Structure 1
Amino acid sequence: MQERSFRYLTNLEEESQKGLALETVQKNPRLLTVPDFEYERTKPSLASLSNTASAIDFLRPLGEVGLAVVIFSSFVALLLVLRPLIYGVGGGPSLVGLVTGALPSIPRPSELAESYGINLASLVAIIPLTQVFSAFKKRVEAEQ
């Protein structure tokens, strides 16, 4: 199984990437535990596997829970940074609210049409008329 998985990874290499599969497997040996048919099913790129293997290799000194710690801490950091930007702090306005509040409001289509004196209900009657006209035109063209 490991040989077939490694063979699949080396077949993903292009001329400019010779040795990348070996380097990727050295950084993340667990790639060899994935059956080759799973690689064929998901069709990952060697570049994405290499990037993931580099991240795992970088986090290896943190131990077995290193990846979980990084994911959890980045989630908490994003909450601490993004929450005030989106929702505001202490009942105050958010940064997004301040930016979007300074923009002019976009009128609803019905309000815009009515401001120009257009009744949207009358436009509905045009739809069947255009369909009948289109069918008639196609029939005339087909007869010619």
Structure 2
Amino acid sequence: MSTELSVTRYIAAPPAKVWDVMANRQNEWWCPTPWRAEVDEQDRRPGGICRMTMYGPDGEVMPQNGIYLAYDEGRRFASTDAVVDDLQPNGPFMIGIWEIAPEGEGTRYTATARHWSAETCKQHEEMGFTDGWSACADQLAAICEEEA
């Protein structure tokens, strides 16, 4: 079984616009409504801290702490929850990769989750990966296309 899940979307907006929203306005698209996300801290470089908190409609609070593995301005960023804060190991769940590429008059957005095992991949899929990450991609696309 594969250990990778992904969603992709064509966004009818130029790559510069998609990157700006993707990287700088995560609180507007990062998790499916009615949930919301707040960026707590970001040090946008490999090894830099990446902290966000997701808030649910019923008072749920889900911290997402990790580090960036890659940060290629205008193209992609990747983070993992396997390492937190000052390079402290953490129970790993996945590596997330969010990337864009020019496609025709618009942009191809791809979000990928790579897991350490088939079991955690299956667990993520059963948690609603496809619906959740697709909703986020739709939210990102809607912002970018409305403002393009």
Report the structure, 1 or 2, having the larger strand content. 2
- For the pair shown, the structure with the greater C-alpha radius of gyration is 1
Q: TM-score surpassing 0.5?
A: no
Report the structure, 1 or 2, having the larger helix content. 1
TM-score range, shorter chain: under 0.3
Q: TM-score, normalised by structure 1?
A: 0.20
Q: TM-score, normalised by structure 2?
A: 0.20
